[in-house]
Amino acid sequence: MDRVELAGFLRRRREQLRPEDVGLPAGARRRAPGLRREEVAALAAMSTDYYTRLEQQRGPQPSEQMLAALARALRLTDAERDYLFRVAGRNAPSPRVTATHVAPALQRVLDRLDDTPALILSNLGEVLVQNRFAEALYGDSSHFTGHARSGIYRWFTDPDERLIYPAQDRDRQGRAQVANLRAAYASMGPRSRAGELVRALQKESAEFAELWERHEVGKRFEDHKVLVHPQLGEIEVDCQALFTEDQSQALLVLTAPPRTEAFDKLQLLGVLGTEKFVS
């Protein structure tokens, strides 16, 4: 671990970012350029003291998980992320870490979407990051681990995952989930994380195994759907997807026409958050 290089790199990247670059209000005039240490720490979900010690060349060696969080918070490119790992004394990011590193271009767009549900997904259906509207609609996905990080996996193994859709639309959504996974499987190969997911689901879900044998392939770029919120009921939305060049990640944005009931419900999500109404 090169403490001097790590501290200098973190400080320089922090100073190069402005609040609006990461979706934060500019606020009052700042005495120093860039983000504050506490802002970077909050974006990376770590304590300010921990981050401060890294910049002061006296912190412990960060774990891969901490480095991945810092790379996302500082909006690092792939090359910058790899450099961060190396100066921190870690090997080049593992395929699993690389796969969950949010594409900076998509992150910049997401940072500016603060009035409607938006989230970034991997091609395996993993929520990489979501805004507060999406969290209020879909729930917090950050606690899932292993195969369960994939919404495709949960669709076929956890009945609660389907409650977000009306009963009459669940068969179509199941087919779409499998078609999306097959597209990822084709690009990533049988020995990839996609292959691991397919083999696990073939063992655990007869429904998945049957749908997999249909050999349907697809990747939806837009969709019109009805989602069901526990308190607000059905919400009719348009879903638009913006993909990275390699199709490995997608930014999903949910909207509804202004002055409609669905639009009002989406706005109410921002007030409701993840709390539940008390009857």
* Residue 165 β-bridge partners: none
Q: Nearest-CA neighbor of 170 among 226, 238, 231, 237?
A: 226
What band does 276 get if pLDDT is binned at 50, 70 and 90? very low
Q: Are 22 and 75 in contact (CB under 8 A)?
A: yes
The residues near 49 (Cβ < 8 Å, ≥ 6 apart) are: none
pLDDT at 33 over 80: no
What's the pLDDT at 169?
92
96 has pLDDT over 80: no
Q: Which fold has domain 3-88?
A: 434 Repressor (Amino-terminal Domain) (1.10.260)
Query: Would you kindly state where each structural domain of the chain is located, as residue ranges?
Result: 3-88, 104-273
> What amino acid occupies position 105?
A
224 or 204, higher pLDDT: 204
Closest C-alpha to 128, from 108, 152, 107, 156: 107
- Residue 25 is predicted with a pLDDT of 72
Angle at 147 between CA 76 and CA 158, to 5 degrees: 125
Q: What is the DSSP letter of 101?
A: S
Instruction: Please give the CATH topology (third level) of the domain spanning 104-273.
Output: Beta-Lactamase (3.30.450)
User: Is the pTM for the entire model greater than 0.85?
Assistant: no
